[in-house]
Each structure stands twice: as structure tokens, then as C-alpha cells.
Structure 1
């Protein structure tokens, strides 16, 4: 399954910009890959692991913005269509890489 994190965080002040960078860095350190500006995705093995990830990113969310998560299956993720632009070939974002034990 895939966990998507979608967010809209303020970046009007220097502190807001710092908070934004810290949040994005935290997502990347947890294995998330950016698929669009403010939309990151990560492969998770279970719903329990998605809850753990949410708990890890929650302390990095600062007031004044909105952060949402969405969990979808691999099959649903594969149904994504690119109407314009080209898909990322980042190996971390490919479903062929997924191994479930």
C-alpha cells in the first residue's frame, strides 16, 4: 500500500520557511518521495505502519497549515494516469521494487 502526504504550509516568514524545510526533510528521511509539490508518497507494509509514520511526522507539523494523509493500495496507485508531464522514474517510487515478506 502507498501512503500519500499532502500539505499546504505557510511560508510567509523566515520561521515558516524553516518549519516547512524541516517538515519536508523529515518526510524524506522517513523514505517519502515527492511526486508533486507538496505531495509525497511512501510504500507502507500495513495500516499499522501508516499510523506509526503519522505519529513520526506529527511533531513536525506547525500551526497555520494543513496536512492530510491518504492510504491506497498498490493497484490503485498503479491506476494513476499522467495527463501531462512525465512520471518520475525514481527507483524508490516504483512498485516493481516492492517486496512483501
Structure 2
């Protein structure tokens, strides 16, 4: 049961602010987003993408992959937090609070 501990399961948050002034900038922005989506990240907010990982070792693999396709310009931040920390996020739409949706159960075959 230690394998599915909320302290072992990780979330990767990729936060970015990329320029979109020229066609080249826009293309780099779109390519970065597409690469994030190909690697299993989903949009949390416009410039924040998240990915659920089964362990910190698995998270390290995806962090290295994101680093491999960083754009030339702009700023990108990568944060890894535990599932327990992610569960403590408070979300608001205007003044109305909303519940953080738990991810679906992820099955391991091997």
C-alpha cells in the first residue's frame, strides 16, 4: 500500500510566460504547448499545465523531458508537489469557491 501513498504520488506543475509578439514567437509558444500535451500534461489555467505521476522517479523523467523542449525565449517554471499538497489547493471562480476534482485512479500493469 506504500506505492499509492498520497505522499509518494507526485504532481508536476509547469508555469510559463512566453512571448507571442512575432510569428516565430507564436510558433514556439504553440510547439511548447503541444509538446506538453503530448507528454500527458493538461491545462490547469492558461499558462499552467499539470501532470499526475505515480512516483518522484516518474516525475523526474517528465521534468527532464520538459527541459528538453524548453523554448528559446520566455520564462518557464517547473514545480513538483505531492498529491497531499495538491489536495490542499483552494480554487475560486470569482468569490465562489469550487472543489478540486480528484484525478481518476491510475492503474499500473507492471
Q: What band does the TM-score fall into relative to the shorter chain?
A: 0.7 to 0.9
Matches within 5 A, 1:22-101: 22-84=31-93, 94-99=102-107
Higher strand share: 2
DSSP-derived class of the 1:34 partner: strand
Aligned residues: 97
Q: 1:78: Cα distance to partner?
A: 1.2
DSSP-derived class of the 1:27 partner: helix
Structure 2: gaps of 5 or more residues: 1-9
Aligned residue in 1 for 2:26: 17
Q: 1:87: Cα distance to partner?
A: 6.3
Higher helix share: 1
DSSP-derived class of the 1:75 partner: helix
Indicate how the Cα distance of structure 1 residues 82 and 88 shifts in structure 2: closer, same or farther if over 3 A, else same: closer
**Rg comparison, structure with higher value:** 2
